[in-house]
Chains A and B, each alone.
Chain A
Amino acid sequence: MGVYIAKRLLMSIPVLLGVIILVFLMVRMVPGDPAVVMAGEQATAEQVDAIRAELHLDKPLPVQFGLFMHDLAKGDLGRSPRTHAPVSEEIGARLGNSVVLMFTSLLLATVIGVATGVISAVKPYSLFDSLAMLVSLIGVSMPVFWLGLMFILLFSVQLGLLPAAGTGTWLHLVLPTVCLATVPLAMISRMTRSCVLEVMGQDYIRTARAKGLPERVVIAVHALKNAFIPIITVVGLQMGNLLGGAVLTENVFAWPGLGRLMVDSILARDYPVVQGTVLFIAVCFVFINILIDVLYVYLDARVRFD
């Protein structure tokens, strides 16, 4: 297992290096002089030059990249020329909000998704199953930002039930959570259904029934524990979806998280922050994936060798 993890970590190095190069180049290929944009409309030529010097934009690209990597190696992501705060501080300030949003969404998606999936599988082709699968099919293919806007239109503008944007109370969390949870929920529900259906067709389920166990015991004790392993994998795989969806959701609902910080920084040509957030998210993504793989191998091994 240790060797496996080490191998996965080594393999992630080229991925992260690729991300770094890509982000570094992309930020610099966006049209418009970042120093001018950042300095603002009333800025003097000296101010613009000062920002340009601060960001090393007056140096050639390879030198810029060398300086960037040099700082990165020391764990320094640089400072935001906008707020003058270190990028790591900017990320730290928003990270909590993103984690909260992703956690509530994943919780919602897992609880409701697994529940509907199990109910669907227990009574396949029933009215509930057909409806749930139709709704989840729509859910899987729903563009997150459009869904968010529709939520705001309906629940905030028309009905005035929930705040459309910002943070503060738990009510603020409702719409972004539901919006971000929709796609993973639909996926988890569909996958749970097929996992449970497959398990329900196994011989040992027939044995459990032949023993005269009540159907709820057959499902809860004999079927679910076996369906649990593939379901965990599916839930884990939704983490990637969640990271991407969070960027969109945070922007639609003005949720002050990492995704919002990233988009704001792109618009302001705040290079260091863009680089920092993208890199941070990429690292998270890679590590979550390694974690899921390790978890899966571990769970699978338990069944086969325990």
Chain B
Amino acid sequence: MTDRLLTVNDLKTYFRTSEGVFPAVDGVSFHLDKGETVGLVGESGCGKSVTALSLLGLVPDPPGRIVGGEILFQGQDLVALPADERRKIRGNKISMIFQEPMTSLNPVYTVGMQLMEPLRFHRGLAKPEARARAIEALKQVGIPAPERRIDDYPHQLSGGMRQRVMIAMALTCQPQLLVADEPTTALDVTIQAQILELLKSIKTTLGTAILLITHDLGVVAETAQRVIVMYAGKIVEEAPVRDIFKSPFHPYTQGLLASIPRIDATVDRLSTIEGVVPNPLHYPAGCRFQPRCPRAAAQCVAQEPPLVAAGPGRRVACWLADKGVAGDE
């Protein structure tokens, strides 16, 4: 309990569009302990980024808004906090890095200026001191010759370098929580591996908790201790990484796992999950995965399955998993 850093309870973030209101995040609950790395996975559009933005208080409003739930960070409910108080936590105690390193830095300012900003605003540091700390931060994320690089403009850096700068920027104030929204998706494979290594080393040296958003279960296997699977705005399964690869409970998780190539198994064809992600404006009745589920039964259409405990550190939202139909084989 003393290790608990973040508790999200029944978080609901809705978007108001011309076609109607839709729940991008629809009653999501999870927690993060200090210094722990948790993977958040799911198909495109399932609400991973919106969950992340909700934690930071960065959901674009309009059209989006947190309409319910609470986000307890170090015992304080962020949802109830006034905007200005929330801002003081952003980039300070909770930081975020994004998928697009090429466009996430401001093209008209030097790397140094952008790195120094959090220190100057949150810590009130004077320029020379902030600069020294910024150089230190660049060194920490493995940028060579940081004393020179600090005066570069973003376009003078490669994509991988920029993502390192983004990470350095997120870490300057030594946050307790780093939200990384697909930090490696836009990078090529070797650079991806380097950035993941960097994130792992941050976890060990700084003890920063990381919420790692990705649609790549391979990335999760390498970096995270626990994994949360989202589908259509809801959490469908949560488990320690070891367990999820060994015995996924939810048919959706099983589908996700079956669709990644494995070295230890010779398969002729990779399987995919049939069908498409449902339109959030018209979610199907009952379980949201039911139309695509190979095992859907009458109850799945009739009633939405709740997210319930399913063993140590595990939760699953599936009627069939509970009855032991899915799971270990």
Hey, which bits of chain A sit against chain B, CB under 8 A?
202-204, 206-214, 217, 222, 225-226, 303-304, 306
Contact = CB atoms under 8 A, between A and B. Distances in A.
A211 B103 contact: no
A208 B106 contact: yes
A298 to B, nearest CB: 15
Contacts of A209: 58, 90
B47 to A, nearest CB: 17
B73 to A, nearest CB: 14
A222 B113 CA distance: 11
Given A203-B100, A210-B56, A222 B106 contact: yes
B91 interface: yes
A204 B118 contact: no
17 contacts: A203-B98, A203-B100, A204-B104, A204-B107, A206-B98, A207-B104, A207-B106, A210-B95, A210-B170, A211-B91, A211-B118, A212-B88, A212-B121, A213-B117, A213-B121, A214-B87, A225-B108
A212 B98 contact: no
B89 interface: yes
By secondary structure, the B interface counts as mixed
Given A210-B56, A212-B91, A204 B155 contact: no
Given A226-B107, A226-B108, 13 more contacts: A203-B103, A204-B103, A204-B104, A206-B58, A207-B114, A208-B117, A210-B95, A211-B91, A211-B118, A211-B169, A213-B117, A225-B108, A226-B106
A209 B58 CA distance: 7
Interface residues of B, number: 29
Contacts, number: 66
A199 to B, nearest CB: 10
Contact of A211 (B108, B109, B121): B121
A171 B193 CA distance: 70
Interface in B105-134: 105-109, 114, 117-118, 121-122
Contacts of B107: 204, 226, 303
A217 B153 CA distance: 20
A202 B105 CA distance: 10
B92 interface: yes
Nearest to A211: B91
Contacts of A202: 103
B212 interface: no
B40 interface: no
B90 A212 contact: yes
Contacts of B87: 212-214
Given A209-B58, A212-B122, A306-B153, A203 B104 contact: yes
Contacts of A222: 106, 109
B164 to A, nearest CB: 14
Nearest to A210: B96
B166 interface: yes
A303 B108 contact: yes
Contacts of A203: 98, 100, 103-104
B76 to A, nearest CB: 15
B106 A211 contact: no
